């Protein structure tokens, strides 16, 4: 499926991951679309929760995918089900500002 969709110039893949070690969070986002160079973004932060790091990585990936020309579909691949559930939860939660920023980009 990935190979088939990756040849479509209107689709962008965003792959995110985040981890925390010794109170230092690292978020990594990779953005790829057909016939375009791969974009890799790495961010570091201290004293932050893992859910915030995941949401930030997703937000940065979506932001980069929206900048690319002719992209009409964004596929996000992440290993954090908890973060994705927070994005689409319409109830108030502490990370709602991240959710609003992500939805605003879309």
CATH number at residue 49: 3.30.420.10
pLDDT 10s digits, 67-90: 888 888 888 888 777 666 666 666
- Which of the four pLDDT bands, split at 50, 70 and 90, describes residue 102? confident
Helices (H), 16-95: 50-67, 81-87
Residue 10 in this model has a pLDDT that exceeds 80: yes
> Which of 102 and 65 is assigned the larger pLDDT?
65
Our count of domains for the chain comes to: 1
pTM above 0.85, yes or no: no
* Domain region containing 24: 2-105
- Counting beta carbons within 10 angstroms of the beta carbon of residue 90, is it exposed (0 to 12), middle (13 to 18) or buried (19 or more)? exposed
pLDDT 10s digits, 19-63: 888 888 888 888 888 877 888 989 898 988 777 788 888 888 888
């Amino acid at each position: 499926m990935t190979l088939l969709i990756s040849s479509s110039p209107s689709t962008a893949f965003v792959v995110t991951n985040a981890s925390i070690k010794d109170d230092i969070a690292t978020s990594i986002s990779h953005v790829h679309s057909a016939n375009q160079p791969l974009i890799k973004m790495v961010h570091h932060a201290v004293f932050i929760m893992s859910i915030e790091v995941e949401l930030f990585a997703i937000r940065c990936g979506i932001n980069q995918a929206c900048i690319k020309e002719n992209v009409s579909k964004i596929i996000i691949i992440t290993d954090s089900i908890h973060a994705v559930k927070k994005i689409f939860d319409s109830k108030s939660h502490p990370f709602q500002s991240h959710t609003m920023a992500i939805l605003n980009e879309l």
